[in-house]
Structure 1
Amino acid sequence: MNADGPDPEALGHPYVVAHRGASAQRPEHTVAAYDLALREGADGVECDVRLTRDGHLVCVHDRKIDRTSNGTGAVSELTLAQLREFDYGSWHSSWRSDGSHGDTGLLTLDALIAMVLDWNRPVKMFIETKHPVRYGALVESKVLALLHRYGIAAPPSAGLARAVVMSFSAAAVWRVRRAAPMLPTVLLGETSRLLGGSAATTVGATAVGPSIATLREYPELVDRAAAHGRALYCWTVDHYEDVRYCRDVGVAWVATNHPGRTKDWLQNGLTGAGRDGTEP
């Protein structure tokens, strides 16, 4: 068993994590995106979290809401009530004015956790804390407090954990490991020097998370992580050749904007897909 669950090779494929939900088919970080990902069989879901001006954790990737909503401004400068005045789906090609594709309002981390825990099968949540931010370590404190409230901050083992906390900030990962030592963590990074060196050991990360580009350049990251008892989480894996590559080198978790398609490729032996990453 690896740091985040059963050996993926024993199952014949990596686990599939829905990156910001099924974000190719639905607006990222919305109930609509996560509902589709869960229905498509995602093994995990990923989200980015930020703090509002009045201290609420919301699922928004960018510092500002301009790209993914019909509003404008920095998340940290707006209250939860102000952020809820906007729609977070009309920018996406899937958006329907009649709401037929689901809820595209602001999503809080609280609501996402409740949604995932209420699903009819175990699904792991990968929660990324964004840095640098004006509230600093308060982000991790708030995340851990929320996980404690749901009773999932101190799992009996990493493999049975329902939540994983991730960050590109080594200090953030260290804060989580120090406060919740049984909670799995992922140190994200762009360079093999960071992920293959002593940083992950120093902060106590149970997994490392390179991009697919970094992993292709340094495939030895998988074995190096395994030698230290760590799993490998790779982002963002959308194309057929990259999915096959991750399977072949032994990646434990692949984050993708196309969870349904990726699950289908893996479960059907990666056959019938075009080299450009499209469905047959």
Structure 2
Amino acid sequence: MTHAREHTIQVVAHRGASEDAPEHTLAAYMKAIEDGADALECDVRLTADGHLVCVHDRRVNRTSNGRGAVSTLELADLAALDFGAWKDPNESPDWGDPQYTSVLTLERLLALVADAGRRIELAIETKHPTRWAGQVEARLVELLERYGLARPRTGTTTPVRIMSFSARSLHRVAAAAPAVPTVYLMQWLTPRVRDGRLPAGSRIAGPSIRIVRNHPGYVDRLRQAGHRVHVWTVNEPQDVELCARLGVEAIITNRPKQVLTQLGRL
């Protein structure tokens, strides 16, 4: 692919290498690191006892052998569940070890990245019930502060960015941790953002691949407005090619190894 040589597109593992391993598990993130992903994407929710865990859905029914809303369960309740049983365990014998498929806390993921031996960035998406307004962001910023990620050292950039479909959530993060980049996620091209402007507190555009397919010129409008562009979720070769041709800065994918190979980096 000739476009890949023009600039380096960051390849972000969506929920880890989630095509090959159960999403949001230690197995998926270890596989993504092994595959060479530049960054890891995760969704975070707050448990009933105040822990941030990597779970996409409001309820655990789809991705575990349990039931119930994350926000009503304590960490100990979640730790008793298997978050890998829904994926075929015959594909990888490692999934049989509970340490690889138990609920993953954001703190454990931060520790994994810190021990990786190379720079790996994190793209953290906030998920939260509206009745808990501000609590997820406050806990997240507190955790980033503890790991020294909210304020980068002089001459460096923070390896963490916060993403959300909620402009209000990003505004809270920007106010509490102004050095941390924020990504405004978009599923549809609405009048609010059609001209390339983003809500206050948002510094990076995160359009869906559906938007990019249907409105490729939108990437230029975003760039003219001074925004970087991170596209999700890009799995098909033709979509990778489109993103490379348009010069987006990051591709978020379930297939990091395949995308890196297509971009000529493996």
TM-score, normalised on structure 1? 0.87
CA distance in 1, matches of 2:94, 2:17: 17
Matches within 5 A, 1:177-192: 177-192=174-189
Match of 2:64 in 1: 69
Superposition deviation, residue 228 in structure 1: 2.4
- Check 1:116–1:199 CA distance in 2 against 1; reply closer, same or farther (3 A cut): same
- Check 1:42–1:148 CA distance in 2 against 1; reply closer, same or farther (3 A cut): same
- Check 1:95–1:140 CA distance in 2 against 1; reply closer, same or farther (3 A cut): farther
Superposition deviation, residue 158 in structure 1: 10
Instruction: Work out whether 1:85 is the aligned partner of 2:75.
Output: no
CA distance in 2, matches of 1:205, 1:122: 24
Superposition deviation, residue 220 in structure 1: 2.1
Match of 2:17 in 1: 22
CA distance in 2, matches of 1:11, 1:150: 34
Deviations, residues 259-278 of structure 1 (Å, cap 9, x unaligned): 01111110169xxxxxxxxx
Contact kept? 2:197, 2:222, Cα under 8 Å: no
Deviations, residues 122-166 of structure 1 (Å, cap 9, x unaligned): 011000001444322100111000000000102258972210000
Superposition deviation, residue 180 in structure 1: 1.1
Deviations, residues 216-274 of structure 1 (Å, cap 9, x unaligned): 111122222222221111010001000000000011111100101111110169xxxxx
Match of 1:3 in 2: none
TM-score, normalised on structure 2? 0.91
CA distance in 2, matches of 1:50, 1:24: 22
Contact kept? 1:170, 1:199, Cα under 8 Å: no
Superposition deviation, residue 28 in structure 1: 0.2
Match of 1:42 in 2: 37
Match of 2:201 in 1: 204
CA distance in 2, matches of 1:10, 1:230: 22
- Check 1:100–1:107 CA distance in 2 against 1; reply closer, same or farther (3 A cut): closer
Superposition deviation, residue 14 in structure 1: 1.4
Counting matched residue pairs gives: 261
Match of 2:166 in 1: 169
Contact kept? 2:209, 2:239, Cα under 8 Å: yes
Match of 1:152 in 2: 149
- Check 1:147–1:170 CA distance in 2 against 1; reply closer, same or farther (3 A cut): same
Contact kept? 1:49, 1:127, Cα under 8 Å: yes
CA distance in 1, matches of 2:78, 2:88: 22
Matches within 5 A, 1:1-280: 12-94=7-89, 99=94, 103-156=100-153, 160-193=157-190, 194-197=192-195, 200=198, 202-267=199-264
- Check 1:249–1:49 CA distance in 2 against 1; reply closer, same or farther (3 A cut): same
Superposition deviation, residue 196 in structure 1: 3.6
Superposition deviation, residue 182 in structure 1: 1.2
CA distance in 1, matches of 2:96, 2:219: 38
The one-letter code of the counterpart of 1:43 is: D
Structure 2, unaligned runs of 5 or more: none
CA distance in 1, matches of 2:243, 2:160: 22
Superposition deviation, residue 189 in structure 1: 0.9
Contact kept? 2:89, 2:95, Cα under 8 Å: no
The one-letter code of the counterpart of 1:17 is: V
Superposition deviation, residue 206 in structure 1: 1.5
CA distance in 2, matches of 1:146, 1:91: 30
The one-letter code of the counterpart of 2:233 is: T
CA distance in 2, matches of 1:163, 1:268: 23
- Check 1:88–1:138 CA distance in 2 against 1; reply closer, same or farther (3 A cut): same
* Root-mean-square deviation over aligned CA pairs: 2.3
Superposition deviation, residue 57 in structure 1: 0.2
The percent of aligned pairs where both chains have the same amino acid is 44
